[in-house]
Every structure is written in C-alpha cells, then in structure tokens.
Structure 1
Amino acid sequence: MELKDIDLNLLVVFNELLRQRRVSAVAATLGISQPAISNALNRLRKVLGDELFLRTSKGMTPTPFAETLAESVGYALGTLHDALNVKSGFDPSTSTRAFTVAMTDIGEIYFLPGLMKHLAKVAPGVSISTVRNQSDALRDEMERGNVDLAIGFLPDLKSGFFQRRLFRQKYVCLFRKGHPLAKTGMTTKAFLDSEHVSIVAEGTGHGMVDAAIQRAGHQRNVHLRVPHFVAVGHILQTTDLVAVVPEAYAVRTLAPFDLVSAPCPLKIPDITINVLWHARNHREPGNQWLRQLVFDEFSI
C-alpha cells in the first residue's frame, strides 16, 4: 500500500477510536458528526481489509490487526503534529511553559526540592505539574503528549520510549531510632521476625521487593500495606514496623522522622532510576532542555 492510497484524516479517526473507544466521544473530540465517524471507519476498513473495531459492551474494541497498528500510527501522527507546530528553539529564561512530569511520591520528595530551586534560577517562568507514574496509564498519556517526562524505576516502559540513567539504587531497611533492632542489629532472623509495612506502589517496579524475598524462600511478616510512600515516615516514627525502601527515600526521611536505616539482610536487586521520554518528544526543544537539566542535576 502507498501513502497516496489513504486519507490521513482516516488515521486521525483511527487513533482517536483507539484512545476513546466510543464513536460519540470521538465525534465530540474531532467536532464532526457520529455518522461521519462511522463513514470514515468504513472507508478505512475497506482500505486495510480488516474490521479494525468491533462493537462490544465496553465500546469499540480493536481487533488484533488494529492493535498492531496502534503504536506506529500514534507515533507517526504525533511526530507529524510536532513537526507542524515546532518552534525554532526553546529559551528557558523567557519561557512560561508548563511541563508535566510523572514520578512517584518518592520522586517528589527526592527530586522536586532541587529541581524547583534550580528552575527558579534559570527558568523562573517555567512551571511543573506532577502525576503518578503508574506504567499502564502512563504509556498512553506519554504517547498522547500529555506527559513530557517520567522519572523513576519503570521497567515496563520500553518500546517507543527513550531513557537515560540517573543513578542506581539499593533497598535498605528503615525503622525508628528507638526500635529494638537499633541495638541488636538487622540479621535475617530479626528481619523475618519483625513486623513490616509493605508499600505496594502499584504500577511501578517496587513490587519486586516481596517477589525477591519470596524467591529466596522467605515471607515477610506484613502487618500493614499502603499504596504509596508518603505516610511511611510518619508510620515508622511511632511504631515498631520495619519498611524496605529505596535508599534515596531513606536519606530524605532519616532526620525529619528520627529514623535509622540498615542494609537489608536478604538480597534484593538494585534498581535503576531513569529519566524517560516518548519518541514523539525526542527532538522537541523544550523536552530536550528539561531532560538534560534533570540529568545534569541528578545523575551520579
């Protein structure tokens, strides 16, 4: 098939149907009628020789062939959009651009103080919004251009993404200064006998902690599970619970919450903290500037 054989507008409809899965929603987004959307879909079906979408109780469900086209079509349309709207450059000193960066609550604690301090000096008009970096939703949001960068441990973001390593990170045990372990030391037996708080952090790679412990033939004595790290310091400060956390988080919470850390007696693989961006933004000047700033400020 040659490009001259297909109307680009049909691919725009295709891309929106992949994203929204409902003809009415696509019609509203593109500002055209529902019959026009249906007509465009029928034309594209004839050109490609596939049903592409099937009506189900959950909306318009893509066929396997449509799913194979999804990433390539989204990337191509995004690249074309950026090329038509790109500016000659990016001047951080005068820009008032608002960037959206995906990171966990650990990322906010570790990165944002230094990042915002640096931006105040070199780009006072630039603003940052953060969103959670749960990989399933994040992939779609970055493909659409709604999220500029992601920072963290995100092993599931591969195809269609670039990444640059900031630093490697090990896991440590974290507990209050008055904890009995502060005197006896953290042995394997003490670790397994202790009561733990487990941080689920769904959609990130941190679920590997319990998986690694189970592979070693052990099971933690978990008394509390929380979905994120934000309250862990407060919890550890007033209980005898133990948490297994990335060292960067431990460093930021030791003094404020009067905690201590110790090496984990069970082997948990180190993690790599990366800055990631979608291929559609690879050559976009503002994105290039921000990710280089993050790298220069935080890489080790």
Structure 2
Amino acid sequence: MSRTTQLEHLDLNLLVLFRHLLVERSVSKVAEVLGLSQPAVSNALSRLRKALGDELFIRTPAGMVPTPFADQLAGSVTEALGMIHAALNQRSAFDPRASDRSFVLSMTDIGEIYFLPGLMEALREQAPGVTLSTFRQNTADLRATMEAGQVDLAIGLLPDLKAGFFQRRLFKQRYVCMVRKGHRLDRRRISLADFSAAEHLMVISSGTGHGQVDEILRRRGIERRVALTVPHFVAVGHILQATDLVATVPERLADRMKQPFGLVAVPHPADLPEVGINMFWHAKYHRDPANQWLRGLVFERFGG
C-alpha cells in the first residue's frame, strides 16, 4: 500500500528548507541563508526525510544531490510555496502607466543588443516611469538573487536554470557566419573547406549555453583557424568591420549588427542545430502582478 503524508503532520518550514536545499545543495549554505545552525538544519532534514519516507538528498563530493523523488517534488513544492508567498503578500494590480518601478533583468551582452532597444521603446509607450537595469551572473548566483527578488527576469540560453523556476520560450534561432561586406566569403553559401580555411573570431561567452557551438564543431572534426578570442559579443561588430575575420553568431544578433557595421550573414556550412531563447522567473514571483506584466511585455515584443 502506498504511503500518504497528511499535511497537518508536516511543518511548512520543512518545505522551505527543502526548497533552499534544492538551490544550495549544501547544509552549511542553507544554515547561513536561514540564519540557523548546521545541526538545526540537519535535524530538520531528518524530520522531513522521516515524514516523506525518502532520503531526499544524498551527500556526494559535488554536494547534496536530490533523489529522484526529491526531483519529482521540486516543481510542485516550489510552485506551492510561491503561491503561498503571493497570497500572504497580496498587492493591488500593477498599473504600468502610474508606476516608477525599477526592474532588473539578467541577460548577456547579446541580450542587451537584441532586447533592450525594443524594450525601452515599449516602456516609453506603455510605462514611461518604469526603468530597467541589467545584471550578469553565473547560474549558481543567479538562482539566489532571483529567489531574493533582486533580479526579476532572466532571458537567454540558460540550460542550468531549472528547479524552482518557470520558463517560457521566446523564440528559436540558428547560428550563422558573419563577415564584412566585400569579404571573400560574402556570398550566398560557403563550403566547410572555405569555413575551415578562413581566420576566425571566437567568442567564449561564459555563463551561457553558446559555448555548445564550439563543442559541436570539435565533435564533428571541423577545424577553425582562430586568430582572435574575446570573452563577449559586444565587440564583434567593430572587429569584423575592420578585419577579414569570420564569426559564428546567433542569427538575431546578426540581424542587429548588419546595418550599423556593414556586415553580412550567410548560412552556416556546419548546419548547427537551432537553440531556444527562454524567459525565466522564480516561482516565488509567479503570481506577482508587476512580474506578470513584465513577462507579458517581453513576450508581446519578442515571442514567436
């Protein structure tokens, strides 16, 4: 017979602890976040294990790893706690035209180039008093800042942002080759041989999934003569404009850079897979009226 856990026998604080362990994967870090001693956190985890009849988290060299049952619970528990938080902190409906709210978005330099001009135009039309700022963090720190409400939305290719978060697909895009106009590869199609023979600008964008492109090319045995490596995309237009280098970039970034820098984009000869760009928000703020409005605005402008 399956075991049934009665809610009246379960302390809600134990579920809060469970959610923090999903994010932190460390008893000591959870103790620090909650202002408790490590023995107190260990004791609470023991009580939760007993109540649910599962180990929930297994200690490994990589930290406290959730069991399959804990992974199964993660989404529902996080959403339920978010609903309770929203109900206890109910606010009036968000009025964008009257608001002077400042929203914080986490995105890469690609996101800033692609999304911010359109978002600022939308704010001018719909919410003239609202302001934006952007924020860049590694995924581990981003989880904590979004749960704390310090970052309202994260936008991009963030495959590690899972437990405790909602997400919505904005669009899918391919990678293209980008060169200056008049470059010898400025033509409708290029071969893999021409691609490999060219000198390349490679972007290593840490904290995002864009590094998968380099890994795919390596796995397929496609070599590049990398002449320059940079840690971000923001300088790509300036560099390509003045050199004979070739860069592999997301197609929507290419669309933004073509006209200002006199560049062209051609289909990638490696036939790289499409990637999905998503919008992420913490379950704690799923029903927050201001967050809902911001998500709707972003999807209205960039979804599809």
Q: What interval of TM-score do these two structures reach, taking the shorter chain for normalisation?
A: 0.7 to 0.9
Q: 1:236 aligns with which of 233, 240, 248?
A: 240
Contact 1:74 1:143 in 2 (8 A): no
Q: 1:105 aligns with which of 94, 109, 113?
A: 109
How many angstroms apart in 1 are the aligned matches of 2:59 and 2:295?
41
2:230 is aligned to 226
How many angstroms apart in 2 are the aligned matches of 1:77 and 1:15?
9
Identical positions, percent: 57
How many angstroms apart in 1 are the aligned matches of 2:130 and 2:141?
25
Q: How many matched pairs? A: 299
2:82 is aligned to 78
Superposition deviation, residue 285 in structure 1: 1.8
Change (3 A) 1:116 1:93: same
Contact 2:55 2:67 in 1 (8 A): no
Q: 1:270 aligns with which of 261, 268, 274?
A: 274
How many angstroms apart in 2 are the aligned matches of 1:52 and 1:269?
36
2:294 is aligned to 290
State TM-score, norm by structure 2: 0.78
How many angstroms apart in 2 are the aligned matches of 1:80 and 1:145?
16
Contact 1:50 1:65 in 2 (8 A): no
Matching residue's letter, 1:219: E
Change (3 A) 1:12 1:165: closer
2:205 is aligned to 201
Contact 1:98 1:127 in 2 (8 A): yes
2:180 is aligned to 176
Superposition deviation, residue 29 in structure 1: 4.4
How many angstroms apart in 2 are the aligned matches of 1:56 and 1:167?
37
Contact 1:149 1:277 in 2 (8 A): yes
Q: 1:4 aligns with which of 8, 13, 18?
A: 8
Superposition deviation, residue 229 in structure 1: 0.9
Q: 1:64 aligns with which of 62, 67, 86?
A: 67
Deviation string, structure 1 residues 16-44 (Cα, Å, up to 9, x no partner):
45545666765564456666556545544
Matching residue's letter, 1:245: V
Matching residue's letter, 1:171: Y
Deviation string, structure 1 residues 150-187 (Cα, Å, up to 9, x no partner):
32334555666544443442322112335333489733
Matching residue's letter, 2:67: P
Contact 2:58 2:67 in 1 (8 A): no
Matching residue's letter, 1:79: M
Contact 2:22 2:163 in 1 (8 A): no
Partner SS for 1:88: coil
Q: Which moved more, 1:240-249 or 1:5-14?
A: 5-14
Contact 1:133 1:150 in 2 (8 A): no
Q: Which moved more, 1:72-81 or 1:109-118?
A: 72-81
Q: 1:252 aligns with which of 231, 245, 256?
A: 256
Change (3 A) 1:57 1:256: same
How many angstroms apart in 2 are the aligned matches of 1:7 and 1:195?
61
Q: CA RMSD in A?
A: 3.6
**Structure 2 residue ranges without an equivalent (≥5):** none
State TM-score, norm by structure 1: 0.79
**Structure 1 residue ranges without an equivalent (≥5):** none
Contact 1:195 1:241 in 2 (8 A): yes
How many angstroms apart in 2 are the aligned matches of 1:184 and 1:113?
29
Superposition deviation, residue 112 in structure 1: 0.4
